[in-house]
Amino acid sequence: MLILMKPDATPADIDGVCGRVRELGFTPHLIPGQTRVAIGVTGNQGAIDPSLFAHFPAIAEAVPVSRPWKLVSRDVKPDHTIIPLPGPRATCAIGGGTFVVMAGPCAVEGREQLMTAARAVCDAGARVLRGGAFKPRTSPYSFQGLKEDGLKLLAEAREATGLPFITEVVDTRDVDLVAEHADILQVGARNMQNFALLEAVGSVRKPVMLKRGLSATIQEWLMAAEYIMAKGNYQVMLCERGIRTFETMTRNTLDLGSIPLVKRLTHLPVIIDPSHGTGDYRSVPALARAAVAVGADGLMVEVHPDPARALSDGPQSLTPANFAKLMESISAIAKVLQMKI
Ligand code: PEP
Ligand code: MN
């Protein structure tokens, strides 16, 4: 259910309604809007009888939400969600009209590799550094990441460049540790429906980027985001990183067609990852340009100082020089579309 408050509702009126929602055993979620506050109600199994709220004069309307996802829905929150970037260099927000580029190596491999990548992506105009410290690998024998040492190196790179960083958390037991260091938590494709992990990142107060699962429908993806928001973390962004189709000549099929639809269905920012989306560095620049054109709010790109020697995802990683060229070409597209970059 969505409770729309009257524009002149006072904080006490809003508190009163939230108290009533809790009394009924449900959870209230405050959704501030441009003209009025709305309160999303979750935790109910069936429809809630609107007459339970009839005696609150500051309520304009109590409407049932028929879609299975609620807090992520544009029906519930028409305004875009804007997620401010933390840090000294952070003059922009994700979803706020700036096309935010996140770039860096697939995995943090060591100080020199990370610092070189971080300085290069920073100089070329990236606004967020990416780097995996905990790596979900298909084979148990592949490099699994530097774990906590990787987080510390990412923090050093943030110190050196001023760029906030995003990194993946793969296990509920590591959520607090990762949240202590990272600026944005990433939930990877393989964990999109790890509901315990979704609830755990929903309980921290750091932004979360939720990647679309390898075989996830749009509805499943939105429901996964709903898990995070239902726990009270509203700073969620989605990331399209390619899905598995019958095609075998690309690593994944980057589902650009989902973007306009997802932007209509939800107020959450959407990021595109053409690196995992194609698996081949030669296809990344063209799809990065398409990402700007299709209306995404940002990009996640893998960049490695020496892709041939990368411990993971070398074939899809750009060299710093290729990344700088990509930035120039997407800047041209962003300019045409009157987006900052
Ligand atoms: C990654 O970003 O390095 C990663 C593992 O991505 P995905 O979860 O999309 O495969
Ligand atoms: Mn990768």
Q: Report pLDDT digits (tens) over 212-236.
A: 999 999 999 999 999 999 999 999 9
pLDDT over 80 (residue 171): yes
Two structure tokens written together for 233: 């973390």
Amino acid at site 25: G
Q: Which domains does the chain have, with CATH numbers?
A: 2-63 (3.30.70.1140), 83-336 (3.20.20.70)
> What percent of the chain stands above pLDDT 70?
99
Q: Which residue has the tokens 């209509």?
A: 264
pLDDT of amino acid 46: 87
Residue of 139, 142, 211 best suited for mutating to test ligand 1, as the one with most atoms within 8 Å of CB: 211
Phi and psi (nearest 5°) for 28? -90, 140
Region of residue 83 (phi > 0: left; psi between -120 and 50: alpha; otherwise: beta): beta
DSSP state of 213: P
pLDDT of amino acid 317: 98
Rounded to the nearest whole angstrom, what is the distance from the C-alpha of residue 276 to the centroid of ligand 1?
Answer: 7
Two structure tokens written together for 182: 């990272």
Number of Cβ within a 10 Å radius of residue 318: 24
Does residue 188 line the site of ligand 1, with CB under 6 A? yes
Two structure tokens written together for 294: 């299709």
**pTM summary value:** 0.96
**Residue whose CA is closest, atom 1 of ligand 1?**
106
pLDDT of amino acid 174: 98
Q: Which residues pair with 98 in a beta bridge?
A: 94, 340
Across the chain, mean pLDDT equals: 96
Local confidence band at 90 (pLDDT 50, 70, 90 cut-offs): low
Cα dist. 132→72, 148, 193, 242, 316 in Å? 27, 11, 20, 18, 15
